Structure 1
Amino acid sequence: MNTTVEIVLIAAAIIFVMARRLLGEPAVGKRLLLLPAILGVIGLTQTSVDSVDALAFLLVSAALSVVFGLLRGLTIRTYERNGIVMLRYTAMTIVLWVASIAARFALGFLLAPSGAQAANGLMVVVGAGLLAEGLVVMSKAVRVRGQVVWSKGRNGAPHRTSAFLDSWQEKVHGTRHDSTR
């Protein structure tokens, strides 16, 4: 995929996710955990590391993204609405998104003389950060009274749940959920 197209698509996806999450949306496990992992794996298959400098840049970028993802996850508000656990980005979450993007650009600028490409591994880095964020949000979501959803139902179908998330939540609350699987 063309680097410019990849950057534009990732930026558009991040903006779309930010807008949705600023308004509040269900804490959907599939979106928070599975999709970032898939994004990272796809990114790994498309990333070329042809030097030690490129590998160092990718590893430092990914580590930085994970740290910012963990911090963002801590700022995301989780709450119950109509029996479903919801999440909402806060102003601090957006500040941390901007800071993480700025840090990535700064890292690219600092390492540019070594030949490391700032766009190389972008999907891996974004996926790693979103997965870290999702793990923190899920750990917060299971502590909220309400159903943690695995995937949203379509066309009026009920939301799907996850036995793993349900059992995690049961351990936290000491209760059992009735759910549609």
Structure 2
Amino acid sequence: MNVLQVLAAIAIVIFVVARQLRGEPLRGKRLILLPAIIAVIGFTSLGKGGRHLTTTDLACLVISAVIAAGIGTAQGALLRLEPRAGVLWARMPAYGLWLWLALVVSRVVMTLVAMALHAPVAGSSAPVLMLLGLNRLGQAAVVTPRALASGVPFAPEKDGRPFDMRGALAGLLGGSGDPSAPGAERPTRQPRPTEYPGPAASNDRSARDLLRDRRRREQR
């Protein structure tokens, strides 16, 4: 058993639960990117240390992943979203702790099942981070459409910048969300209204001048 992986998973769960119960600004990177990073790190660690995945391991891991992601979607549906100071806030009601308990119990049960079926990788602590990341991604799959449908923007990131959904998805897919990157479409500069008034504005101004001159002549 990898003690560091277990301690890291416990620390992440305590951190997430505490913030959810207290309520926090909904930030896109923490909602989408961080769970994806955790899931990838957990997945890449499955084959380390000389471990070899068997067919039974894969079957147990797939079942565990479906359960973890399913509980995450339920958590996402339960999460309360509300606007505060012009940005979205998220808060989990206290009874949402039952879903966290269900996640822990499901992992214990699947560990026992995997050990009984002689699936050493699935029965070890190696999948913990991956399953936790998938659980958070399951929540994000439900919360993100709800947040976008609300019309209220995500809270700014720590650096003060707004969350760029397109750039985040491009980063996950291996692309670049930077407009200055080669091949990226550069936004065209729109002229300010005061720079080039255009024919319509000029015609309106000429009509006003003619009307003003006409009134002056009539007054004389």
What's 2:19 paired with?
Answer: 20
The alpha-carbon distance between structure 1 residues 163 and 126, as it changes in their structure 2 partners (threshold 3 A), is closer
Kept in 1: contact 2:20–2:92 (CA 8 A): yes
TM-score (norm 2): 0.67
* Amino acid paired to 1:60: I
Kept in 2: contact 1:153–1:160 (CA 8 A): no
Kept in 2: contact 1:24–1:89 (CA 8 A): yes
Kept in 2: contact 1:58–1:120 (CA 8 A): no
Q: Work out the CA distance in 2 between the residues paired with 1:34 and 1:131.
A: 9
Bigger CA radius of gyration: 2
Q: Following superposition of structure 1 onto structure 2, how do residues 2-41 of structure 1 map, counting pairs within 5 Å?
A: 3-41=2-40
Instruction: Answer yes or no: is 1:82 the counterpart of 2:85.
Output: yes
What's 1:54 paired with?
Answer: 57
Q: Work out the CA distance in 2 between the residues paired with 1:16 and 1:99.
A: 18
Identity, in percent, stands at 28
Q: What is the count of residue pairs matched by the alignment?
A: 160
What's 2:73 paired with?
Answer: 70
Unaligned runs of 5+ residues in structure 1 are 166-181
Q: Work out the CA distance in 1 between the residues paired with 2:24 and 2:166.
A: 21
Cα deviation, residue 121, structure 1:
1.6
Kept in 1: contact 2:23–2:90 (CA 8 A): yes
TM-score (norm 1): 0.81
Kept in 2: contact 1:80–1:145 (CA 8 A): no
Unaligned runs of 5+ residues in structure 2 are 168-220
Q: Which runs of 4+ in 1 moved over 3 A?
A: none
Q: Work out the CA distance in 1 between the residues paired with 2:63 and 2:12.
A: 23
What's 1:121 paired with?
Answer: 127
Task: Give CA-to-partner distance per residue, 1:61-108, whole Å, 9 cap, x none.
Answer: 111101101111110000000001010011232110111110110121
Q: Work out the CA distance in 2 between the residues paired with 1:98 and 1:76.
A: 16
What's 2:164 paired with?
Answer: 162
Q: Work out the CA distance in 2 between the residues paired with 1:120 and 1:111.
A: 13
